[in-house]
Amino acid sequence: MKYPYLENKNILIGVSSGIAIYKAVDLVSKLRKMNLNLKVIMTKNAKNWVSDQIFSAVGNCDVYYSSFDVKGGWIPHTELSNWADLFIVAPATANIIAKISCGISNDLLTSTAIAFAKESKLIVPTMNVRMYENKALQRNLKILEADGWTIIEPEVGHLADGEIGKGRYPDNDRILEYAEYLLCKKDFLNKKVLISAGPTVEKIDPVRYITNRSSGKMGYELAREFACRGADVTLVSGPTNLTAPSLVKNFIPVESAIDMEKVMVTYSENSDIIIMSAAVGDFRIKNFSAQKLKKDDVLVLELEKNPDILKELGEKKRENQILIGFAAETQNHEEYAKKKLKEKKLDMIIVNDVSRKDIGFESDENEVIVYSYGEEYRLEKNHKRIIAALIIDYVYNKFC
């Protein structure tokens, strides 16, 4: 996964002594692979779990743990808090949460937290479920939230002590998505965006179906980018192997074209921007069999046309609503694109050449041409997250 808004930023990681500290090592490892500047603060007790040398080696960065490591007028907590664009405390124990929420600064991590004046600060509580549900802990989290901290709630699952409940350290990609959100411009704040993604699936019988090669990656990256930039995103997705972006408020899984049509039409009424990036199947089985068919029975399948969702949305489009389509083509790209743009009453259409193996379906990269009335905008091959950002920049500059 790519995180362009973390590039060239100064990222400070604060590590306390939770058992989930080994996952913080992975977080530091992921950050090292990006084009950014990284530093780590550890509490004294955190070093009982993992050596500071491990964090330094994995992150290729400096690790700090003493408030008294003053050299040449360089005072750790004031200098580090000034240096960082983003401060992440992960894992955050009940103890460190209590101290920061109460303004206690008796070590380098808490002193830096008190001195950090920016709003770009994340805290990741991880602990036993009974500790997490404790009223004092919940009260402290509310104080932190009121003080400008973004809290990433822990996950529910098996905990280190054998109990099951809320307290697990979340996936690091989720943390990084929230980190990007704090550093990203919010030019789509309060905009309602509806996006379709992935393939549709049309059942033949209980074990067989027809579908297409769409991975959903382009639609998911568009949803991630819009959400990062402040939009209220609804993502309607056919079956994929992808995880819905953490910042997407409303994720609706569907299977068939009929399912997708119902959801898209319903949510389109209150949407400011609609993007149909899903590869909707053109046909469905006319007579679905409730029982598994024998081999000879599936030699001939009777098909019927699926609804043209994009055309239907174009016919229902209200004033000031932006409707964007995608076209996966193998030939005559410009001709087909301009025809769809006009016939389906779109504001713009994005075309990619799915005959190429290095872009489009299943690939992490894409190369597209954006057509709107009287304009053509070519986006050269790049990661789909970057393509998504450039498409959304175009939408903002042209329509917003």
Residues designated as active site: 212
Angle at 372 between CA 370 and CA 374, to 5 degrees: 120
Q: How far is the C-alpha of 245 from the C-alpha of 177, rounded, in Å? A: 8
Taking the CA atoms of residue 27, residue 33, residue 37 and residue 39 in that order, the dihedral angle to the nearest 10 degrees is 30
Taking each helix axis from N to C terminus, what angle separates 52-59 and 21-32, rounded to the nearest 10 degrees? 30
Q: How far is the C-alpha of 25 from the C-alpha of 10, rounded, in Å? A: 18
Q: Looking at residue 27, what DSSP letter applies?
A: H
Residue 88 to residues 37, 151, 152, 179, 213: CA-CA distances in angstroms? 14, 10, 10, 8, 38
Q: Is the peptide bond before 91 cis (omega within 30 degrees of 0)?
A: yes
Q: How far is the C-alpha of 125 from the C-alpha of 94, rounded, in Å? A: 7
Q: How far is the C-alpha of 67 from the C-alpha of 325, rounded, in Å? A: 56
Q: How far is the C-alpha of 123 from the C-alpha of 136, rounded, in Å? A: 17
The letter for the amino acid at 76 is: P
Two structure tokens written together for 217: 């990656």
Largest CA distance in the chain: 84
The letter for the amino acid at 170 is: P
Q: What is the DSSP string of 245-274?
A: PTT-SEEEE--SHHHHHHHHHHHHTT-SEE
The answer to whether 298 and 204 are in contact (CB under 8 A) is yes
CA-based R_g, the chain, Å: 25
Two structure tokens written together for 36: 């950014």
